[in-house]
């Protein structure tokens, strides 16, 4: 399954979601999950604390400067393809072909999509099995997410919403919209909420990613109760 992870603009926890979701799926299917870092700032790799151990990257694989497998390195149970050093090497047409090739070898291929070009994101979404649209639940970002949603696959099963950085405190103060109102504003079915905060068991957002991974895999998992 190809999972494309997008956001209408930066600062929406997209790379954090990509990294933690990849780890969660790899925990369920060791060696069967590939995370492709599509952002030149290598945000997903930074979130994981992963230092690349290959001389090649996504751009090299796309331009034929190496075999596809040479641009993949192992990070525990997860495989990672580093971001291209040159953004000019990454074009939607060649990328979608590479995603299709890799999809034959992995159970899950996750792509952390750069937010700079909406046309690029929508082209990749068209070739993906599932697109996760990440946004914070404030008025401005929900409006941007709505405009991006209109360009993504219409089928609800292929485009799902992830609300990020959510807190009940911010909702009560009026900084954030309610979850139900956010869903209505964007026009996409919710698959998860990444809350702010920490527990003795770790960051709430990381715990929530485990539940999102299970939902993607077909399990019926209730939403985390926020307080």
C-alpha 114: how far from chain center: 10
Between the CA of residue 34 and those of 1, 10, 26, 108, 173, what are the distances in Å?
Answer: 10, 23, 8, 6, 40
Predicted pLDDT of residue 202: 59
Question: Whole-prediction pTM value?
Answer: 0.92
Query: Which residues does the chain have with pLDDT short of 50?
Result: none
CATH tag, 2-216: 3.40.50.300
**Per-residue pLDDT tens for 123-133?**
999 999 999 99
Provide the 3-class DSSP secondary structure of residue 213.
helix
Between the CA of residue 41 and those of 13, 47, 155, 167, 176, what are the distances in Å?
Answer: 14, 11, 31, 27, 28
On whether the CB atoms of residues 131 and 153 are closer than 8 A, the answer is yes
**Per-residue pLDDT tens for 15-59?**
889 999 999 999 999 999 999 998 776 668 777 777 766 789 999
Provide the 3-class DSSP secondary structure of residue 192.
strand
Which pair of structure tokens corresponds to residue 110? 């996750």
Domain segments of the chain as ranges: 2-216
On whether the CB atoms of residues 185 and 142 are closer than 8 A, the answer is yes
Distance of alpha carbon 15 from alpha carbon 17, whole angstroms: 5
Predicted pLDDT of residue 220: 92
Q: Tell how strand 78-81 and strand 73-75 pair up.
A: antiparallel
Distance of alpha carbon 116 from alpha carbon 120, whole angstroms: 8
On whether the CB atoms of residues 198 and 192 are closer than 8 A, the answer is no
Predicted pLDDT of residue 201: 53
């Amino acid at each position: 399954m190809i999972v494309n992870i997008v956001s209408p603009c930066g600062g929406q926890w997209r790379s954090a979601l990509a990294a933690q979701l990849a780890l969660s799926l790899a925990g369920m299917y060791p060696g069967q999950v590939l995370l492709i870092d599509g952002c030149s700032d290598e945000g997903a790799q930074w979130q994981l604390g992963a230092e690349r151990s290959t001389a090649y990257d996504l751009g090299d694989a796309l331009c034929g400067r190496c075999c596809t497998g040479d641009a993949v390195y192992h990070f525990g149970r997860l495989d990672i393809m580093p971001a291209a050093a040159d953004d000019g090497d990454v074009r939607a047409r060649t990328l979608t072909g590479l995603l299709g090739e890799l999809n034959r070898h992995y159970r899950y291929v996750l792509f952390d999509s750069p937010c700079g070009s909406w046309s690029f994101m929508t082209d990749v979404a068209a070739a993906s099995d599932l697109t996760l649209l990440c946004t914070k639940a404030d008025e401005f970002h929900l409006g941007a997410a709505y405009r991006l949603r209109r360009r993504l696959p219409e089928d609800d099963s292929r485009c799902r919403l992830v609300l990020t950085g959510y807190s009940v405190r911010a909702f009560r103060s009026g900084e954030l919209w309610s979850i139900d109102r956010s869903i209505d504003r964007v026009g996409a079915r919710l698959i998860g909420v990444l809350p702010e905060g920490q527990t003795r068991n770790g960051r709430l957002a990381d715990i929530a990613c485990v539940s999102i991974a299970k939902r993607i895999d077909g399990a019926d998992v209730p939403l985390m109760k926020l307080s």
